[in-house]
Amino acid sequence: MSFALNLDKDLCIGCGICSESCAFGAITMSDFPEINEDSCRLCGSCVQACAAGALKINKEQPKDSAADNSKGIWVWAEVENGQLAPVSIELLGKAVELSENLAQPVEAVLIGDGVSGLADDLIAYGADCVHVVDSPLMADFIDENYTKVFERLIRQNRPAILLMGATLLGRGLSARLASVLHTGLTADCTELEIDKETKLLRQIRPAFGGNLMATIINPAHRPQMASVRPGIMRPAVKDDSRRGRVVRYDCDESMNDARVRLIETLSSEVKHSSLSNSKIIVAIGRGVKTRKCADEISAWAKSIGASVAGSRAAVEMGLVDASVQVGQTGHTVAPDLYVAIGISGQIQHTAGIVGAKKIMAINTDRQAPIFSVADYGWNISAEEALARLVDITSVKA
């Protein structure tokens, strides 16, 4: 693949304006501009600045993208407290499914310090090959450093597809990587499939506030990158008899020169991952109205072993912490039971609970849209419902 920013030396007058206009220091001047492909972000400032019209961004796409030499469906194996993050196992499940239609190997990328032992687990979950960078230099997740290491692996191996979790860490890392690799990224996909004819990855996600589903393809650049939120895909099934290849890479100081340094990690009172693992979630909405009532609902939820979540309106009112917001711009959850109290059921909220096995809605408005997606409905106030629920559950206890 040729680089997308092209210089026409016949037109260039060597004025150097392109170099001055580049915010990324990607153009140096000798007789002609020299473009550093690693630093260039294809922002187009130089193209606009060049009065001679000597610089152009090539937007043409290769005619036969399936014939490029990229190969492999890669999954970033995110590590959480020394264990594989559940989303990595879910992505491996999807990668295995995609590989059946693409006839390409599933490969995992494992970066960290003391993580090598997880390579066998990744193979058991479906990886044919695991690329391991295990080094004290990678002990802390600093996304600039991880981007450099990851970029090097990708440039060496040229995967066709790269899947990452749309987690706190994965969101930043995937965006940085897509930028340095000059490829596209579809964030927050809800489905991924291989197009039967073109063999391209069809990246499907809600668009326009969840009112339509967009299918996005990336015919021209590699890897085809997609992120998926935790809890959406079915986890891979573990098979300890599987065998695979482990490729180890060195890591030197040049991979650890980020401008940020991790000084301390503070654990938040709210466990961010607890929502994705919860069997029962009690969600608070604007209809709960007061902090006192929200606190009482939270206390009851905890007493029955449930996690507490909320709508964006409840977050804005200070009834619940922003870290437990459910919906399009919050968590996607898949509990056995989701109890929505005082939540109207706007699409941006219900987009986050499509995986819930059962939904129970408590709302004073019979016409509230939440009742159309709920399995059980209770048309009473939050206060009254809470009193009855406390009563029922304490009698049972």
Ligand X SMILES: Cc1cc2nc3c(=O)[nH]c(=O)nc-3n(C[C@H](O)[C@H](O)[C@H](O)COP(=O)(O)OP(=O)(O)OC[C@H]3O[C@@H](n4cnc5c(N)ncnc54)[C@H](O)[C@@H]3O)c2cc1C
Under the rule (CB under 6 A), what is the footprint of ligand X?
Answer: 209, 285-287, 311-314, 325-330, 342-344, 346, 348-349, 362-365, 368, 381-382
- Residue number, 220 or 362, with CB nearest to ligand X: 362
Least distance to ligand X, CB of residue 362, Å? 6
Contacts of 308 (CB under 8 A, 6+ apart): 281, 282, 283, 284, 297, 298, 301, 302, 320, 324
Contacts of 16 (CB under 8 A, 6+ apart): 29, 33
The residues that bridge with 109 in the sheet, in sequence order, are 76, 131
Least distance to ligand X, CB of residue 300, Å? 15
- Residue number, 116 or 348, with CB nearest to ligand X: 348
The whole-angstrom separation of Cα 224 and Cα 158 is 11
Query: 133, 77 in Cβ contact below 8 A?
Result: no
- Residue number, 80 or 383, with CB nearest to ligand X: 383
Decide: helix, strand or coil at residue 154: helix
Edge to edge, the sheet with strand 212-216 lists 191-194, 201-207, 212-216
Which of 313-318's residues contact partners 24+ apart within 8 Å by CB, and which partners? Answer: 313/285, 313/286, 314/283, 314/284, 314/285, 314/286, 314/288, 314/342, 314/343, 317/286, 318/291
Least distance to ligand X, CB of residue 312, Å? 3
Least distance to ligand X, CB of residue 78, Å? 22
The residues that bridge with 205 in the sheet, in sequence order, are 214
Least distance to ligand X, CB of residue 326, Å? 6
Q: CA of 299: how far to CAs of 133, 306, 329, 361, in Å?
A: 44, 10, 26, 19
Decide: helix, strand or coil at residue 159: coil
**What's the sign of the alpha-carbon dihedral 351, 355, 356, 359?**
positive
Least distance to ligand X, CB of residue 348, Å? 3
- Residue number, 223 or 285, with CB nearest to ligand X: 285
- Residue number, 159 or 345, with CB nearest to ligand X: 345
Annotated binding site for FAD: 286, 311-312, 325-329, 342-349, 363
- Residue number, 29 or 390, with CB nearest to ligand X: 390
